[in-house]
């Protein structure tokens, strides 16, 4: 008889573990937020939402992502199917690490580009290539990847500008 852990494939176990980690971190943050009366009292007082808004939004996003990962892991565990594309080869592992290194390098360059070109342009220039690459990797269609990536990058830059600069008045 096989053990419980051996029945769950590696991808499903990883998704379950990551979802559990993110959900636990979010729950701990919510507990900390709601047990801090000074921070919580600032929420919803007049037109200024107070310093509790950003942690509340971030914790909600972390919890949402954790729940999605848990659901994905449970679905993978229930299906017990693995496609050949999910099998990791040494080249795929190196490629995955190279992409992560490129993302970190672009994050390091982002502040200097932002001071030179401005927030909106820098945010778009950072997000567009990554979103085009992710879309191309998913569907392998160049036109679709360009259209979706460029559009989503513009929407992301615009929404960041509206939230942080217009609504919250953060000086960038």
Binned at pLDDT 50, 70 and 90, residue 64 comes out as very high
Does one domain contain both 124 and 102? Answer: yes
Does one domain contain both 77 and 93? Answer: no
Among 27, 61, 81, give the residue marking a domain's end: 81
Does one domain contain both 100 and 77? Answer: no
Average pLDDT (113-134) is: 85
Percentage of residues in the chain having pLDDT higher than 90: 18
Number of separate domains in the chain: 2
Q: What are the angstrom distances between the C-alpha of 125 and each of 58, 82, 120?
A: 24, 36, 9
Among 50, 81, 112, give the residue marking a domain's end: 81
pLDDT of residue 1: 46
**Per-residue pLDDT for 136 more than 60?**
yes
Does one domain contain both 99 and 55? Answer: no
For residue 20, what are the domain limits? 1-81
**Per-residue pLDDT for 127 more than 80?**
yes
Q: Which helix (H) or strand (E) holds 168?
A: none
pLDDT of residue 2: 52
Does one domain contain both 17 and 96? Answer: no
Q: Which residues contact 77 (CB under 8 A, 6 or more apart)?
A: 7, 8, 9, 12, 16
Does one domain contain both 128 and 147? Answer: yes
Write down the pTM of the prediction: 0.48
Two structure tokens written together for 53: 């808004």
Does one domain contain both 53 and 131? Answer: no
Average pLDDT (104-124) is: 82
Two structure tokens written together for 143: 């036109």
Buried b (16+ CB within 10 A) or exposed e, 84-113: eeeeeeeeeeeeeeeeeeeeeeeeeeeeee
Among 81, 101, 117, give the residue marking a domain's end: 81
């Amino acid at each position: 008889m096989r053990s419980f852990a051996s029945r769950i494939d590696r991808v499903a176990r990883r998704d379950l573990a990551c979802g559990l980690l993110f959900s636990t971190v979010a729950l701990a943050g919510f507990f900390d937020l709601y047990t801090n009366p000074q921070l919580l009292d600032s929420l919803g007082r007049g037109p200024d939402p107070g310093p509790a808004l950003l942690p509340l939004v971030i914790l909600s996003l972390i919890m949402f992502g954790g729940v999605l990962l848990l659901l994905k892991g449970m679905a993978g565990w229930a299906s017990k199917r693995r496609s050949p594309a999910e099998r990791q080869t040494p080249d795929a592992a190196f490629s995955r690490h190279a992409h992560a290194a490129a993302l970190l390098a672009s994050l390091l360059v982002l502040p200097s580009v932002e001071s030179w070109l401005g927030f909106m342009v820098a945010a778009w220039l950072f997000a567009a290539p990554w979103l085009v690459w992710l879309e191309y990797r998913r569907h392998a269609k160049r036109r679709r990847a360009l259209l979706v990536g460029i559009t989503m990058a513009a929407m992301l830059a615009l929404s960041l500008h509206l939230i942080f600069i217009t609504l919250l008045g953060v000086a960038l």
